[in-house]
Every structure is written in C-alpha cells, then in structure tokens.
Amino acid sequence: MKQPDGRRVRGDATRRAVLDHAVQIASREGLDGLTLGTIAEVAGASKSGVATLFGSREQLQLAVVHHAGTIFTEFVVTPARAQPRGLPRLCALIERWTAQSEERLFEGGCFFLACATDFDSKPGLVRDALRHSIAQYEDYILAQITAAKLADQLPRLDDPEQLAFEIRAYYAEANYASLLHDSREPYRRAEHAIARRLLEAGAEPALVAQIGLGLTPAT
C-alpha cells in the first residue's frame, strides 16, 4: 500500500494548527485582525510558511470561516442530529448553541456573530462565506421548526419564520450581553424566553425540558 507523502501530512497538520489559532483570534478581534504575520507569530510558524499555506490574507480569512464552520457543526449540529426531527432536534440545537457560546468554544463567544459584525457592510468573498455559513444554520433551525409544526408538536404556532427569528435574536443578545458583562445570566434569560415561547406555541413541556427551566404550559 502506498504510504502517505510525509510533507503533505506535515503540511496538513501545520495548516490545521494555524487555523485553530486563527479562529480563536478572529472570534476575539474579528477577521480584520488576522494577518499572515500575526498568525505566524502566534502559531510558531514562519510568515513565508503561512503565506505558502494560504496565499493571501483573504484566502486565510476564507479558510478560517470554513474551519470555524466545521468546528461549530461538530459541536452543535452533529450531536443534535441524534434527536428526532422537529421539536426534539430543535431543543437539542438550542441547548448546544447555548453551550458553544457559554463554554467559549470560541474564545470571543459565537464566532459567526463576532465576525459578521465586521463584514456585514463589506461586500466580497469573505462576507459571502460568512453569510453562507450563517444561512445554513438558520435554515436548519427553520427546518426543525417547520417539521415540528407539521408533526403537530407546535400546534399553536402560526409563523415558523417569526419563531426562528426570535430564537436567533434571543441568543444573539445572550452572546453579546454575556461577553460585555462577563455573566452567564443572559443565557438563562434567553433559555427562559425561548422555552416560554415554545410552550406558548403548544410544545409539550417534557420536550422543552432540556432548555425549559420547568415552565408551565401557556393557557
């Protein structure tokens, strides 16, 4: 059997190590805070070596967005997929999203909320990559809400897109407020608000329990 090329294996390992450092820097300082020189210094690599791996600053930024998406998917989406479609999976997604922000999977809180602020008014490939990654998760949340409605798990819900928007808004505020005030309380408030909203839409309390804080059904 042909043995893997040692140089390629080392190059791939170096690339992953550089990207692991870069996603953490970007979550704290934004993608604009990334330069080939800065990343080389932090990762213990040469600037020329980093340039060889990525080619340009923009290519580095694009690679960082993709790497962050892989990390996010493995931590949030993949575990949630173990739950049935609809409300159980939606609740698991909410719980895992809270955990990735609260536990600082990315040191600066949610990577995509942090970096989207830098690029929301800057057209180009990096904004396109951020928008694509964010839209994938938003669409997945909406798909679970829609599946829950079709399965009669949210019988009083009349607008799945509105609920998806509210969930995103609660967690964006929780992420921001937690970072600003160095507090976990915003996550509890977001969980409380979302759980109450799901119960108002007719969700079974037992299905909301993993995020639900023991609320009673709406009357």
pLDDT per residue as tens, the chain (219 positions): 665 666 665 667 888 888 999 999 999 999 988 888 888 887 777 788 888 888 889 999 999 999 999 999 999 999 999 999 999 999 999 999 999 999 999 999 999 999 998 888 889 999 999 999 999 999 999 999 999 999 999 999 999 999 999 999 999 999 999 999 999 999 999 999 999 999 999 999 988 987 744 344 444
State which residues form the domain around 124: 57-212
Please report, as a single letter, which amino acid is at residue 105: L
CATH of the domain at 174: 1.10.357.10
Other residues' Cβ atoms within 10 Å of the Cβ of residue 170: 20
H or E stretch including 154?
A: none
150 located within any domain = yes
Q: What is the pLDDT of residue 216?
A: 40
23 located within any domain = no
The distance from CA 214 to its chain's CA centroid, rounded to whole angstroms, is: 26
Q: What is the pTM of this model?
A: 0.88
19 located within any domain = no
41 located within any domain = no
126 located within any domain = yes
Q: Are 146 and 138 in contact, with CB atoms under 8 Å apart? A: no
- The number of distinct structural domains making up the chain is 1
8 located within any domain = no
What is the phi/psi pair of residue 103, to 5°? -85, 0
125 located within any domain = yes
26 located within any domain = no
Q: What is the pLDDT of residue 38?
A: 83
Q: What is the pLDDT of residue 214?
A: 36
